A and B are shown apart, each in its own frame.
Chain A
Amino acid sequence: MKKDRYARMDNNRIDEIIEKHHSEASSLIQILLNIQSENHWLPKEALERVSEKLNVPMTRVQHIATFYKAFSLVPKGRHEIHVCMGTACHVRGAPRILDNVQDLTGIKPGETDLDLKFSLETVNCLGCCALGPVMTVDGKTHGKMAPAETANVLKNYE
């Protein structure tokens, strides 16, 4: 598992994605999004391949990859935790949930632990404000969270 997460993406697959977008430089963001969604992060080699194929300078590819929040330049853990920090969740106590998740996992938002078990991110609104405060783990929603419950949720993930 550990190995898979670090593995480089196959160049042929990258080329396929680029061709799907007709190798157009204006589709740079869409191409990077595709790679990110399949690979969970953007390895340097992938960025170089895209730069070469689209004939876009590497500096611009880097600019895009660092400007937008959806992209990650480091590998992600096996389980992705998103804690909603939207306004509705904030007024219902989301900061306390985040504090607790940070204590339990030992990582801050944007980080991945050394075992590649968890990655932690904050998001600005998941749109299920009725359930706030909300966190998701691997896309599964856990609503109406209380600080003491975070441990119960996270212990189910290996």
Chain B
Amino acid sequence: MARLESPEELGKFRKKILSKRDPNTPCISICAGTGCIASGAGEVIAAFKAEIEKQGLKADVNTKETGCPGFCERGPVVVIYPEEICYLQVKPQDVPEIVSTTIKEKKIVERLVYADPSTGDKAIHESEIPFYKNQKRNLLGSNIKIDPKDIDDYLAQDGYSALAKVLFKMSSKDVLDEVKKSNLRGRGGGGFPTGRKWEESCNAPDEIKYVIVNADEGDPGAFMDRALLEGNPHSILEGLIIGAYAVGAHEGFIYVRQEYPLAVENVGIAIRQAEEYGLLGKNILGSAFDFNVMVHQGAGAFVCGESSALMTALEGKAGEPRPKYIHTAVKGVWDRPSVLNNVETWANVPLIINKGADWFTQFGNERSKGTKIFSLVGKINNTGLVEVPMGIILRDIIFKIGGGIPGGKKFKAVQTGGPSGGCIPEEMLNLEVGYDELTKAGSMMGSGGMIVMDEDNCMVDVARYFLDFLTDESCGKCLPCREGIRQMLKVLTNITKGKGKEGDIELLEELSEVAGEASLCALGKSAPNPVLSTIRYFRDEYEAHIKEKRCPALSCKDLIAYYIDPAKCEACMICLKKCPAEAIDGGKGKIHIIDQEKCTKCGTCIEVCPPRFRSVRKMSGEPVPPPIPEEARKIVRESKQR
């Protein structure tokens, strides 16, 4: 492939790609994102290839391994074009039927399409499924249409047209103005206005500048950046090159977690292909603008998601943050001006350039514009990635898109913003999702994790979980974070173990204040959020743990016991056999009893006890009834008596 030397050549080449593609040729798109691969998409892909070969359709049907469309709950996801028929939870054994029925006879395989769990209504097309219908998928929408390993797919979707526009029709000031006008704010958590950050870097006197993609997505339960990098790497590259042009940088870095091997691979391929096409490297599209980009793999440190720590890591040192009296936009990597933005922020840039700031600002509320991708996980029916306009209320995300809480359980709280965020209770479900609204509620936007919790989740335990995570991940440079979080964790652990005492809540609040005020970087400053927000909305749970030694959610291991109700036990031996600790005594026709000394509280017995008996029960804050006498344990069945 010869390099493209001008925007006209790019246009011609795009036409050539499109002319070779007949929109009526059937194309089977199979999600090959990490979530679907984990549910067996690899085998489905292989089965499709074999079946198409077997039925002699190789010349007439295309298959495509695409990025994640977001509906992980029902993976592996398969979409068949041009009809856009969406099949869910496809297994290799379904493949022959799909090929002969849908591809050959153009009929639907009914059992694989979406059926509403409550009404049973079917939805054949992606756009009709409630999970998708209520979203606004500006960024994620292309994922299912693009093979991330093939730049031609991105070009066919109008890719790199924003870059051509910027290089030949806009000055760097025009680009800055457009991005500023769009009010795009950083999608990584802080929400700093992107245009202002760029401008600051642009005005810095240094000759050498850098642009950086922050793909160190460390929040547990958040994976939207990975979906974009894996599924549409060129959109991020294009955004990055545009940013480089705007601030005058000629070198860039993509900092990816080493835990995301597929993202590293796809980004590497994307860079090589863009270089080959002359969209990266020297003299891009004949514009005399040079730009190179390097991939840097992180080595597993949550704190490296912080801008100054990430830049220290790029220099090959231990990723510790530094005070930011001078912004990294002015003094960053090797003390040069460095613009660092999150993956999702960069991916928005080509859209803003192509469609204009006015188009972008039509989505969102007053202070937060555009769309935001959330990863909706935890106790929710439709786990997956959802992209919604800012300003949507939490209730709509959780119930309209997410389909509510599984198992008929009651919603308790939603945790946003990762370890730095907080828990939002049911009373506040009508809260608009935006940077400032979430901060006011004691949480934050963060990178966009949204963990839904039901009545079985203990809020003290959730706070303890996040502090445990942060104790591990604190780099240890500054004392308020290193020691403050550790002491808070100690207090919380004691509370969950039933060793809490009067005054613990006040102590937690005091420690929170110091860590929040005096820590060096955002990790420590925001660490108290999970604690303070749970105290604010769920103080009664803390008090039950401390005063009554009771866990209201029946979750804290040291405060609960499992008990078999002798009146209900039918001595079926199922729990007895399954108990991994061999803590259940009993036999055929002999009522089972849990030996509380041996019990490890794994909960297997309650899970396996047949629903028609429901004899195992969890209890907290009350003594376990003593075992019934030996002679009363024999079950005499009526049928046998007769």
Contacts and interface: CB of A to CB of B under 8 A. Distances in A.
A25 interface: yes
26 contacts: A29-B313, A33-B258, A63-B318, A64-B316, A68-B298, A68-B318, A69-B299, A69-B300, A87-B220, A87-B221, A87-B465, A90-B462, A91-B378, A99-B600, A103-B580, A103-B581, A124-B302, A125-B219, A125-B221, A126-B34, A127-B260, A129-B72, A129-B377, A143-B38, A146-B607, A147-B602
B226 interface: yes
A87 B415 contact: yes
A104 to B, nearest CB: 8
A103 B299 CA distance: 29
Given A148-B580, A148-B608, A127 B449 contact: no
A92 interface: yes
B562 to A, nearest CB: 12
A33 B298 CA distance: 9
A129 B375 contact: yes
A131 B299 contact: no
B375 A29 contact: no
A148 B379 CA distance: 21
In this complex, the member of A99, A100, A127, A132 whose beta carbon has the largest number of chain B beta carbons within 10 angstroms is: A127
A148 B38 CA distance: 21
Interface string A75-114: 0000000000111101111011001100100000000000
Contact of A130 (B37, B73, B314, B318): B73
Interface string B444-477: 0000010101000100001001100100000100
In this complex, the member of B260, B301, B314, B378 whose beta carbon has the largest number of chain A beta carbons within 10 angstroms is: B378
A100 B604 CA distance: 11
Nearest to B295: A30
A11 interface: no
Among all A-B residue pairs, the 7 with the closest Cβ atoms: A69-B300, A68-B299, A86-B220, A88-B377, A129-B377, A130-B383, A127-B223
Contacts of A85: 220
B141 interface: no
B364 interface: no
A67 B319 contact: yes
A94 to B, nearest CB: 10
Contacts of B191: none
B297 interface: yes
A71 interface: yes
A5 B73 CA distance: 38
Interface in A43-90: 60, 63-64, 67-71, 85-88, 90
Contacts of B37: 141
In this complex, the member of A32, A33, A71 whose beta carbon has the largest number of chain B beta carbons within 10 angstroms is: A33
Given A91-B379, A128-B39, A67 B223 contact: no
Nearest to A151: B580
B621 interface: no
A128 B72 contact: yes
A91 B376 CA distance: 13
In this complex, the member of A26, A29, A32, A68 whose beta carbon has the largest number of chain B beta carbons within 10 angstroms is: A29
Nearest to B260: A127
A141 B602 CA distance: 22
Given A67-B318, A96-B603, A87 B34 contact: no
Contacts of A86: 220-221
Contacts of A130: 35, 39, 72-73, 75, 377, 383-384
B299 A32 contact: yes
B43 interface: no
Interface residues of B, number: 59
B319 A148 contact: no
A135 to B, nearest CB: 11
Contact of A103 (B219, B223, B297, B600): B600
Nearest to A97: B602
Contacts of B466: 87
A14 interface: no
B72 A70 contact: no
Given A30-B296, A68-B300, A125 B608 contact: no
Contacts of B415: 87
B222 interface: yes
B218 interface: yes
Contact of B379 (A92, A100, A125, A131): A92
Contact of A96 (B375, B377, B602): B602
Nearest to A139: B261
A100 B359 CA distance: 53
A88 B258 CA distance: 21
A28 B451 CA distance: 36
In this complex, the member of B316, B379, B453, B602 whose beta carbon has the largest number of chain A beta carbons within 10 angstroms is: B316
A32 B481 CA distance: 28
A123 interface: yes
A73 to B, nearest CB: 13
Nearest to A140: B38
Contacts of B297: 29-30, 33
B190 to A, nearest CB: 20
A141 B315 CA distance: 34
B317 interface: yes
B110 interface: no
A127 B604 contact: no
Contacts of A147: 580, 602-604
A64 B317 contact: yes
Contacts of A63: 318
Nearest to A129: B377
B367 interface: no
In this complex, the member of A32, A88, A96, A128 whose beta carbon has the largest number of chain B beta carbons within 10 angstroms is: A88
Nearest to A60: B317
A125 B223 contact: yes
Contacts of B580: 100, 103, 147-148, 151
A141 B378 contact: no
A93 B300 CA distance: 24
B165 interface: no
A134 interface: yes
A49 to B, nearest CB: 17
B259 to A, nearest CB: 7
Contacts of A91: 378-379, 451, 453, 457, 462
Contacts of B557: 95
A128 to B, nearest CB: 4
Contacts of A27: 316
In this complex, the member of B258, B449, B457 whose beta carbon has the largest number of chain A beta carbons within 10 angstroms is: B258
A28 B316 contact: yes
Nearest to A36: B299
A93 B299 contact: no
Contact of A88 (B259, B296, B383, B578): B383
Nearest to A28: B316
Contact of B469 (A69, A124, A128): A124
